[in-house]
Amino acid sequence: NNFSNLRTFNIDASSLPNVKRNKFYVVIDPGHGGIDAGAIGIRGLRETDVVLDVSKTVQRLLSKKGVNVRLTRKGEIDLDLSPRVTIANRTGADIFVSIHANASRGKKKDINGLETFYYSGWRGKLLAEKIQQEIIRVSPGSPDRGVRSGRYFVIRKTNMPAVLVEIGFVTGKLDARRLEKPLHRKRVAYAIAKGILKYLQRVG
């Protein structure tokens, strides 16, 4: 239940790794939005709602650590892929993190798991590894689908280390049951923030 989760897991920013304040600028990109709800899962769970909620918590946590954060969207607006990239490229972001949830073909309930994509370069790969390590930790029993190179537009066209995180399958029985819960979303956000901060500690 929620009480035991809260006892064993601290979602407070004070327990996150520290980085030099006001040094880093991160763009967080909640996938989809507006008319494009993204994947639709079990019990009508919508990717756009899950990833916006998680992204806002990532922003809040990183801000408390003195990291400047910009979201590519703050609400349910329809936003193409190229403006997401432009925001990051024009404003000189240090890193770009796009947050998504998965759907399996045929909406198979037994397919669950988390994965993180980068496009190229050791920095992107390292950022993906740091985030993947942490999101797996808060998703016990859900398969680790690993860190992979992918050709998604938003990570291919951005000119800073960039990753696309898939935080679980809205169509998967195990993942959907978690992703619909506000507490789990907070834990995933905490994990993503922790991965980002660990990366910045190492590379920044």
CA distance linking residue 201 with residue 6, whole number of Å: 27
Binders of Zn ion among residues 115 to 134 (CB under 5 A) are: none
**Cβ nearer to Zn ion, comparing 28 with 126:** 28
Q: Is residue 185 involved in binding Zn ion (CB under 5 A)?
A: no
**Cβ nearer to Zn ion, comparing 47 with 94:** 47
List the structure tokens of 200: 């910045």
**Cβ nearer to Zn ion, comparing 31 with 172:** 31
Least spacing, CB of residue 176 vs Zn ion, in Å: 15
Please choose, out of 1-9, 23-31, 57-65, 108-116, the segment that lies near Zn ion by the rule CB under 5 A: 23-31
Least spacing, CB of residue 20 vs Zn ion, in Å: 32
* 124 contacts: CB under 8 Å, gap ≥ 6: 118, 155, 161, 162, 163
The residue of the chain with the least Cβ separation from Zn ion equals 100
**Cβ nearer to Zn ion, comparing 17 with 150:** 150
Which of 100, 130, 178, 184 touches Zn ion by CB under 5 A?
Answer: 100
CA distance linking residue 68 with residue 31, whole number of Å: 20
Q: How many residues bind Zn ion (CB under 5 A)?
A: 3
The H or E element spanning position 118 is: strand 114-118
Mark out the alpha helices in 28-119 (DSSP H runs). Answer: 47-64, 81-90
CB-based burial label for 3 (10 Å; 0-12, 13-18, 19+): exposed
- Length of the chain in terms of residues written: 204
**Cβ nearer to Zn ion, comparing 9 with 152:** 152
CB 143 within 8 A of CB 112: yes
| Contact mark string toward Zn ion, 29..48, x via CB under 5 A | --x------x----------
DSSP string computed for 86-99: HHHHHTT-SEEEEE
Binding site for Zn ion (CB under 5 A): 31, 38, 100
